[in-house]
Structures are given as structure tokens and as C-alpha cells.
Amino acid sequence: MPLDTIRLNETPEGVDLGLRVAGPAPRALALAADGAIRLVILLALSPLSALSGLGLGLNLIAVFLLEWLYPVTFEVLYGATPGKRAMGLLVVHDDGTPVGLSASLIRNLLRVVDFFPLFYGVGLVCTLVDRDFRRLGDLAAGTLVVHAQRRSTGARAGRTHAGGTPAPPGLPIATQQAILAFCERARRLSGARRIELAETLLAHLPSPATGPARARGWAAVEQVEGYGTWLASGRAGD
């Protein structure tokens, strides 16, 4: 069983993107939280049972929607169910990109198998023997449950770039993640490696029509760190 839960993925820009995979304990707590939320919703709908056959039918529809659409909807729209978000977890593809509809459907359909023989017995065994703590649904869908990146990355970079530099519009999620990963790890790299990676990242960005020109050398490092500060501030979606 590996003690290091960091999974490294090399992005097309040549930057190792670190993903801290979540173990069985936080995932079980998230599952319990989501179960409690669904139970509260079902209890709130229980008065419908007074409508006899119609009420029973509505309750069965509610059970179906909560069991199958609840996790898929939240994972596709927000990256995690409310229970996972409360535990600081995210569901992503195994390359670190946000989970899509097909992958979310596959991983949640296979919850039936993971549940056997009782209370996710198969799923628990799978998470304990897999190096990335994946259950069968994750293995089939190519997904991971990871701890969300902390904003402290941007805060550290912000000591030298308080306002940050607006990144070029329309950056893919993978590129944004590569910039943030660079900012997190830059101070542990040699100066030459920092410059090399910063210039490589900038070479993959669209040429700016306005704002600072594409820099070289240490100016490239500062420019990428400025982009990282701006992205970490959550203004990428402004």
C-alpha cells in the first residue's frame, strides 16, 4: 500500500500535475452525507403517500431520481456531490480533467456492483487494493476521487503578484491546472528548470492581443506566476 497518495500526470505543456487521491475514509463520510441529504428529501416527500396510488408512484419516481440522477447531475455540473464537496473532494478523469457525462454515468451505474454483497463490500475491497483507491466504477469509467486544490497556492504566489495578471481568455481547464501546478511547485525547482517550464507554458498560450507580450527568462516565470495568482483568485470565469 503506497504511503504517497499524490498521483502525477504530465500535461502537454510538460508540467507534472499533482492529484492527491482520496482514500476510503473521506469517501465513506461523503457517502454518508449524501445518504443523509437524500433521506431528508424523501422524508419531506413522504406526505405524498396520503394520495394513495398516485402518491406511491410519485415517491417511487423520487427514489429513482435521487438514486441515479442526484450523483450524476452534481458531478457533471459541479464536479462533486454535496457530500463530496463538504469533504473537499472532486471527481475527475484520471488525467485530471473535469468528469464528463458518460464517465459519471458509468461510475454511478456500477455502484450496484460495488454495493455487493452489502454496504459497498466490493467497492471497499477495490479501493484498498488499488493504488489510487478506485472502486470498480472508477476503474471502468477512468475516474478518480481527489482532494480539491487549496487556494493557498495562489496566496503564496500572491505575495509577489498581489493583483495577478489576467490570463488570456478561453484557456482550457488543463492549461489552467498546469499554470496553478507550476506556481505550487516552482519554488522547489532549479532556476533553469523554472524558466524552461515557464517559457514552455507561455508557448502554448494564445498570443495576447493586449496586455504584456510573451516574456522570456525570469520575466516568463513572473508572467506565469501572475497568471496563476489571477486564476487562483477565481476570476477566470469573470
Are residues 178 and 134 part of one domain? no
Per-residue model confidence as pLDDT tens for the chain (238 residues): 444 566 666 655 555 566 788 888 899 899 999 999 989 998 888 887 777 777 778 888 888 888 888 999 999 988 899 999 999 898 988 877 778 899 999 999 888 888 887 777 888 888 888 888 898 889 999 998 988 865 444 444 444 445 577 777 777 777 887 888 888 777 767 677 788 888 888 887 776 655 556 677 888 888 888 888 877 765 554 4
Residue 24 located in a structural domain: yes
pLDDT tens for residues 49-82?
A: 777 777 778 888 888 888 888 999 999 988 899 9
Q: What is the pLDDT of residue 99?
A: 85
Q: What is the pLDDT of residue 212?
A: 56
**Backbone φ and ψ of 12, nearest 5°:** -60, -20
Q: What is the pLDDT of residue 238?
A: 47
Are residues 128 and 17 part of one domain? yes
Are residues 225 and 117 part of one domain? no
pTM for the complete prediction? 0.58
Are residues 102 and 28 part of one domain? yes
The SS3 of residue 195 is helix
Give the DSSP per-residue string, 183-194.
HHHGGGS-HHHH
CB-based contacts of 223, cutoff 8 Å, min separation 6: 165, 198, 202, 212, 214, 215
Dist CA 18 CA 8 (whole Å): 5
Q: What is the pLDDT of residue 10?
A: 61
Are residues 113 and 13 part of one domain? yes
Q: Which domain holds residue 44?
A: 6-147
Q: What is the pLDDT of residue 72?
A: 92
Are residues 139 and 72 part of one domain? yes
Q: 183, 178, 177: which is closest to 152 by C-alpha?
A: 183
